[in-house]
Structure 1
Amino acid sequence: MSKIVVVDNGSFSIKAGFAGEPLPRVCLPNCIGKVRRRERIYTCDQIYTLNEYFSHHPFSEGLLIDTALQSDIWKYTFNKLNINPLECTILVTEPFLNPTPLQHSLSELIFEDFQFESAIISTCPQLIPFAFTPIQIPNATSEQDINPCYLVLDCGYQCCNSVPMYQGTPIESGCRRLDIGGYYLDLLLKNFLAYRQIDLSQNAFLVSKIKEIACYVSTDFEKDLLQFSSDKHGDRSLDHWVKLPEPSSSLSKSSQFYNEECIAPDPNEFISELPEELVGIQGMYNKGMKMSQTQFVKLSTERITIPEILFRPSDAGFNMEGISEMVVTSIKSCPIHLQPLLASNILVSGGSSKFRNFHTRLQMDLTQMLPSGWEVNVRKADVNPQYVAWSGASIWSSSPGFMGYTTSRRQYHEAGKN
């Protein structure tokens, strides 16, 4: 039996490993980097050794449009896994509602460029439920009354998708997409840092890591904003300082900072006193300061205003509903008898849902927006939200009968793109 490779091919990062394992072997940036006036191309995690670079992604607006670039990234990734595609089966993710021409391009990449022995292409909403334990329907009288409905909320880098499903099949009338994700939050944070402290416009992944370390979702935005305002005249205990990584040509040393799992500390437990090494740093910042001139950046109200854009896009000038409203619209666009079942089984995944309090805020919003008699249950998987789709894929691909769903290389060449 061939080895089964599982690849969650996201627009921000590529997670890859083997079927049946709890976590991916590698999680790499799904991009390449180039430095001005240098010919060398830095692939995936090689960009971690750079202070400044221009990044190029195979994805645009949540769709895989550059398969040639994706091919180079896959080669690097598969070398990390030490596999021979000719002897492997691959389970790979594709964007939800992927256009047919792009589906064909992905199939060509798998079978013609890499010549995998067999393959199956699936969407994240189809795989994510495998990472969650089935639950009973509300007020069930029997342990056999498993809820056949669930709503998958996948919060990604370039967009967020709300996909209601019944017995594993998407309910098309309720599918919704929010064209805001981690990329836009990073862009706003990058602009703030450039204006106030430091120019990181050519280090996108460092900005994203700063966001992950310092930002959190507020459960009472107006109240918390007032606390930040009053704190300006106090001990600044709500501010958060992020120590930047020291430049290093060592890939293993540079990767350690980016691969470390972290989450913004609970503001209620934050130590009010600054570490000794930070004393006197406040006030050092000037507009246009370069990364090499300082080791720290400070975030204040941005800690909550940046993630708030997911819930209130209008704050950043976007004329669209927020993520909570999108979920409500998604549920209410489904058959009426399924709506309470969907509300009671909301499965959340994706890197943009990693913020502290994200699930709590979503639960609070939906409870207020949906009928009072409904049970609202926003669920969080046991793994890092960034790995939920990969984890679900790993579980499914290790189950009996999985190979019956795959297409072999021979079948592909006999049938062609159809």
Structure 2
Amino acid sequence: MSTIIIDNGSYEIKIGHASNGVESVKTLQNSIIRTKDKRLLISNQLSTINDISGVQFKRPIERGQLVSWEVEKMIWDYAFESTDVGLNIDTFHDKDLILSEAPFTIPQMSMNSDQVVFEEYGFNSLYKSPVGGFVPFNQQNNEKIYIPSTESVGETAVTAVETGSYSDYQLVIDSGFNATWIIPMVKGVIYWRGVKKLDIGGRFLSGVLREQISFRHYNVTDETVLINNIKNESCFVSLDYNESLKKIKAKGSNKQDHVIEYVLPDFNTTTQGYVLTPELKEKYKPQSQQILKLYDERFTAPETLFHPEIVDVFNKAGIVETIIDSINTLPEIVRPLIVANIVMIGGNCNMRGFEQRLLNELKIVLPVEWEVRIGKPSNPSTYGRECASVFSQTESYQKVKITKKDYEEHGPHWVHKRFGYSL
């Protein structure tokens, strides 16, 4: 019996057979696309077209809820059967499924997923969890990714290390396309009372960047793919926002650290665009390229994760306040332990400087005697799926998965309760 793992993200799907390696993971766009000439493309078929201008996306997951299984099933079928992906899965009765699902998914929508998995596909078994819930099971790798700290560990944390309970407490920050989730874990189980949601994710950051570029430079209102490319290639989190603004206004070499030139796609020599480096400047003639010069846009959009008010959003707390709210729901004795085991996953965590800025901010607001450790894996986008692979090899997984026989005998409501999405 083999196991299929699907990290069903709002923006991307990470899918593959359970394996301790990451080479088997396939990444797909979780969307269907309509081009300007009215062609319909599924997921990664987007890469087959040259003109990405004006394409429209239909995503099955909106605001963290899987609202359209009609669309999602088309994408899953493409993932299972297409030679482009290479999984070549045609039978499901002999396969187990581990599936990620957003915290606090609406019960009926969660049960719809169970129905599709067992009745449409016929998987042998299912286990569902927020992708952050798998991170503690990969503690061996977690210890390798923490930012080195020379500070002393608090007395409580020292005791925990000596008793072997240090890794029993974890805080997972999952910053994805639709939202940023703060998920405390206690002894491998999600502490649901402490789960907090910040309604700022990759979609919000792209929207801020789109507005700034459209107002200052070119109208890119309909250029969804281009904006995502610019964000991924050029945006970073400033360690000191006000200081970075001063550098933008200043003259001299310091300014060049924050200002870049982005070559816009001409759909002939480039279809995605790219950052113009000094080496590329020598190779190509600048006058033959349409160049977008980016200044504070690069770090202002990511800054909204910490201070949403800079874009006139006053009804959302920043990520630091959200983390503190989550920590304060935990028993006092646990709090210094959990801040010493913070792991960041999700696509937004790829931005340079994010983990160091968050570490600096948390040290300011948390008690000085607490050690704060933050780990960012080399690929935060796929790390949750990697942790799920480790989880699939554990005895715990065998105890908690729900078989198709259980589903047929007890029904979807029983299955929903077994996965424990309640306070």
TM over 0.5: yes
Counterpart of 2:171?
Answer: 151
Cα pair 2:166 2:337 within 8 Å, conserved: no
Which moved further from structure 2: 230-239 or 151-160? 230-239
Matching residue within 67, 70, 73 for 1:71:
73
Unaligned runs of 5+ in 2: 144-152, 414-423
Counterpart of 2:136?
Answer: 129
In the TM superposition, what is the alpha-carbon distance from 1:276 to its structure 2 partner? 3.1
CA RMSD in angstroms comes to: 2.9
In the TM superposition, what is the alpha-carbon distance from 1:29 to its structure 2 partner? 1.1
Counterpart of 2:56?
Answer: 54
CA, structure 1 residues 116+161, in 2 after alignment: closer, same or farther (shift >3 Å)? same
Question: Distance between the aligned counterparts of 2:260 and 2:138, measured in 1?
Answer: 33
Counterpart of 1:313?
Answer: 308
Alignment of 1:259-298 (within 5 A): 275-276=281-282, 281=287, 295-298=290-293
Cα pair 2:127 2:402 within 8 Å, conserved: yes
In the TM superposition, what is the alpha-carbon distance from 1:65 to its structure 2 partner? 1.1
Counterpart of 2:216?
Answer: 196
1:373 aligns with 2:369: yes
Amino acid at match of 1:399: T
CA, structure 1 residues 146+384, in 2 after alignment: closer, same or farther (shift >3 Å)? same
Counterpart of 1:327?
Answer: 323
Question: Distance between the aligned counterparts of 2:214 and 2:4, measured in 1?
Answer: 41
Counterpart of 1:300?
Answer: 295
Cα pair 2:138 2:391 within 8 Å, conserved: no
Unaligned runs of 5+ in 1: 265-269, 282-292
Question: Distance between the aligned counterparts of 1:233 and 1:338, measured in 2?
Answer: 47
Report SS of the residue matched to 2:309. helix
Counterpart of 1:218?
Answer: 238
Counterpart of 1:209?
Answer: 229
Amino acid at match of 1:8: D
Counterpart of 2:149?
Answer: none
Report SS of the residue matched to 1:192. helix
Counterpart of 2:89?
Answer: 83
- Cα deviations across residues 137-160 of structure 1 (Å, max 9, x unaligned)? 722463634332111111111101
Amino acid at match of 2:157: P
CA, structure 1 residues 4+176, in 2 after alignment: closer, same or farther (shift >3 Å)? same
Question: Distance between the aligned counterparts of 1:9 and 1:360, measured in 2?
Answer: 28
CA, structure 1 residues 87+234, in 2 after alignment: closer, same or farther (shift >3 Å)? closer
CA, structure 1 residues 73+197, in 2 after alignment: closer, same or farther (shift >3 Å)? same
Report SS of the residue matched to 2:93. helix
CA, structure 1 residues 230+91, in 2 after alignment: closer, same or farther (shift >3 Å)? same
Matching residue within 157, 165, 172 for 1:138:
157
In the TM superposition, what is the alpha-carbon distance from 1:300 to its structure 2 partner? 1.2
Question: Distance between the aligned counterparts of 1:314 and 1:19, measured in 2?
Answer: 42
- Relative to the length of structure 1, the TM-score reads 0.85
In the TM superposition, what is the alpha-carbon distance from 1:411 to its structure 2 partner? 2.6
Question: Distance between the aligned counterparts of 1:394 and 1:114, measured in 2?
Answer: 21
Report SS of the residue matched to 1:353. helix
Amino acid at match of 1:227: K
- Relative to the length of structure 2, the TM-score reads 0.84
Counterpart of 1:410?
Answer: 405
In the TM superposition, what is the alpha-carbon distance from 1:132 to its structure 2 partner? 3.6
Question: Distance between the aligned counterparts of 2:404 and 2:280, measured in 1?
Answer: 60
Amino acid at match of 1:25: V
Cα pair 2:247 2:255 within 8 Å, conserved: no
Report SS of the residue matched to 1:16. strand
In the TM superposition, what is the alpha-carbon distance from 1:172 to its structure 2 partner? 3.0
